[in-house]
Amino acid sequence: MRAVKTIKVNKPNNKKQFFTPNRFYVVYGFIIFAIICLIVKMAVLQIIEPDKLIAEGNKRSLRYQDMDAPRAMITDRNGRALAVSVPMYDVWADPKIVVQKGGVKVNDVRWQGLANTLNIPMSTLEQKLSNPSMRFVYLSRQITPTISDYLKKLKLPGISFAKTSKRYYPAAENIAQLIGLTDIDENGIEKGSEGIEKSFNKWLIGESGQRVVRRDRVGRVIEEIERTESEAASDLTLSIDERLQSLVYSELSQAVEFNKADSGTAVLIDVHTGEILAMATSPSYNPNNRSTLDYNLLRNRAVTDAFEPGSTVKPLVVMAALEKKIANLNTIIDTRPFYVNRYEIKDVSYQKALNLAGILEKSSNVGVSKLALQMESGDVVEFYSRFGLGQPTGLGLGGEVSGSIAADRTRKWADIERATFAFGYGLSVTPLQLARAYATIGSYGIYRPVSIVKVTEPVKGERVVQEKIAKTVVQLMEAVAVTGGGTKASVPGYSVGVKTGTAKKLAGGRYVNQYLAYTAGIAPATAPKYSLVVVIDNPKAGQYYGGSVSAPVFSRIMGGVLRTMNVKPDRQVDGQMIIY
């Protein structure tokens, strides 16, 4: 039987095989168009608008870091530090990085070490660093380099350190009100503080620098782009002598405590240069311990508080009388009580008649009133103004008040106004203004501006009264310390010219039963070098007269100053010259 051969026949493919050029061209065109758009965009970004692309990138990666200049040091006239910046560190955290790295781990000894060192409860630390939307949180400020070194060794994620500084005041409370305070960023503007730190802030801060860096996405610095170095400011040298400042503050503080007074103020000036050698206020505060800071103690009362100067202006009235030839050293004044515009003018101790020396020795209100009433209406006010009373000192310290004195010197003054002006009522001055006036007396009539910075060039000044007249009044003031009401202001071995004063305080426009006791003077009287004013506010231990309260303080301070400055004694004690 023959085999049958099977032949496979391929069936024709009924599917349509075709190519559509139009569809191809459309797709091809879209691809070409997209490529062209990309090329154009790249050209725009790279050639036409490259700065915009760079700016966008820099916005994400570049950081500008200010580099503050170190705050300048404040020194006394001999180079002793009064304010200096000490290196410190701030500790801060980036919560986003902390969270990304697992957050605060309560059982991790490193996190426990951070919390314990910074005295932050672990729960508080965990809460502070749990919000990833925050990128900056201070954990502590102004820690010491030793503590910073320890914390850096913990190598905690998201924890960083910034170098800073803290202001330190070596003289502490001795000079606190004059120097003032800085805030935590050392800006010299601590609330309520009106001292050197604030008033001379621009001098002390220097020129800040800047650093431009590039950071990666986790905040690490990967490149420094640019750096402008900061320029440190020059140190500020004050006219203050720290030795004398400490002496003045110590004696003043003891007097305030002994007399149970509200406060005390003292100002010491070099009469030949106008330099302020000491300016103290008590009670004071420790500027290195802010935890117990009482803002009521920040005020520098030597420039912020004005008072009626009372009898301390009487030497100026006598000087004016001599200049205008109303009286001479031999003139006898009737000092019995008398009436002016229905007001009685009288003295604490009755004296029938006194010469000019006696008027100052006995501090006669009647005597100076009668001298003033013989002058022209505005003469006393004009004479006070020559010596700077009631006028700003131009010292540059914030918070300084100018006091008050008659603005219109040409008007017709009532007799009672002229009389009370003569014994220091009806005007107000600051302790600094009064010290400046006595420095003018001590320089025998040469008025010099006061300065809180060290003076390197001679200060010529302006003559406001004849030298002969000024010397005569200085001699009369010396007698006050020998036989008058200022005997407790005398200094063994030295001649001093002083005038004590006592005035009732004003409160709410009325005189109250509180007193200001003050003593102003110069030494040595034979060749004056220093003027000193001491004010004790509201003594409550029994005595309140200047001759009893402030005069002994004047004696101790001026005696200490003269000995410290090696001034040769010019008077004998019990027939013998004192040698220190």
The boundaries of the domain holding residue 199 are 58-80+170-238
What are the residues whose beta carbons fall under 8 Å from the beta carbon of 359, sequence distance 6 or more? 314, 318, 333, 335, 367, 368, 371
What is the DSSP secondary structure assignment for residue 574, as one 8-state letter?
A: T
Low-confidence ranges of the chain (pLDDT < 50): 1, 577, 579-580
H/E run at residue 540: none
Q: Are residues 231 and 248 in the same domain?
A: no
Residue 29 is assigned to a structural domain of this protein: no
3-state secondary structure of 544: coil
Q: Are residues 162 and 269 in the same domain?
A: no
- Give me the pLDDT at residue 39, please: 81
- Give me the pLDDT at residue 293, please: 85
Residue 495 is assigned to a structural domain of this protein: yes
Q: 424, 312 in Cβ contact below 8 A?
A: yes
Q: Are residues 271 and 207 in the same domain?
A: no
Q: pLDDT for 409-421, tens place per residue?
A: 566 788 999 999 9
Between the CA of residue 208 and those of 199, 229, 396, what are the distances in Å? 19, 8, 24
Q: Are residues 124 and 261 in the same domain?
A: no
CA distance 306 to 300: 11
pTM above 0.85, yes or no: no
**Residue 569: CB atoms within 10 Å:** 18
Backbone angles phi, psi at 275, to 5 degrees: -75, 135
Q: Are residues 515 and 436 in the same domain?
A: yes
**Can you read off the two tokens belonging to residue 50?**
């490259």
Residue 33 is assigned to a structural domain of this protein: no
- Give me the pLDDT at residue 247, please: 98
**Can you read off the two tokens belonging to residue 81?**
């530090």
Domain boundary among 169, 196, 212: 169
- Give me the pLDDT at residue 189, please: 64
Residue 189 is assigned to a structural domain of this protein: yes
Q: 434, 449 in Cβ contact below 8 A?
A: no
The domain total for the chain is: 3
Confirm whether 311 is a catalytic residue: yes
Q: Are residues 266 and 343 in the same domain?
A: yes
**Residue 523 CA to chain centroid, in angstroms?**
29
Q: Are residues 103 and 211 in the same domain?
A: no
What does the DSSP assignment read for 212-235? Answer: EEEE-TTS-EEEEEEEE--BPPPP
Q: Are residues 230 and 249 in the same domain?
A: no
CATH of the domain at 117: 3.90.1310.10
**Can you read off the two tokens belonging to residue 467?**
């030298």
Q: 474, 438 in Cβ contact below 8 A?
A: no
H/E run at residue 249: helix 242-258
Residue 392 is assigned to a structural domain of this protein: yes
Considering only CA atoms, which of 523, 520, 518, 527 is closest in space to residue 564? 523
Q: Are residues 230 and 282 in the same domain?
A: no
Q: 82, 169 in Cβ contact below 8 A?
A: yes
CATH of the domain at 464: 3.40.710.10
What are the residues whose beta carbons fall under 8 Å from the beta carbon of 218, sequence distance 6 or more? 97, 100
**Can you read off the two tokens belonging to residue 493?**
């071995």
Q: Does the bond joining 132 to the residue before it have cis omega, within 30 degrees of 0?
A: no
What is the DSSP secondary structure assignment for residue 46, as one 8-state letter?
A: I
Q: Are residues 255 and 354 in the same domain?
A: yes
Given the residues 193, 284, 311, 428, the one annotated as active site: 311
HSE value, Cβ hemisphere, 13 Å, CA-based, for 473:
28
Domain boundary among 169, 198, 220: 169
Q: 30, 36 in Cβ contact below 8 A?
A: no
CA distance 343 to 111: 80
- The gap between the terminal CA atoms of the chain, to the nearest Å, is 161
Q: Are strands 236-237 and 74-75 parallel, antiparallel or unpaired?
A: parallel
Residue 9 is assigned to a structural domain of this protein: no
What is the DSSP secondary structure assignment for residue 207, as one 8-state letter?
A: B
Q: Are residues 144 and 159 in the same domain?
A: yes
What is the DSSP secondary structure assignment for residue 567, as one 8-state letter?
A: P
- Give me the pLDDT at residue 510, please: 85
Q: Are residues 229 and 327 in the same domain?
A: no
3-state secondary structure of 4: coil
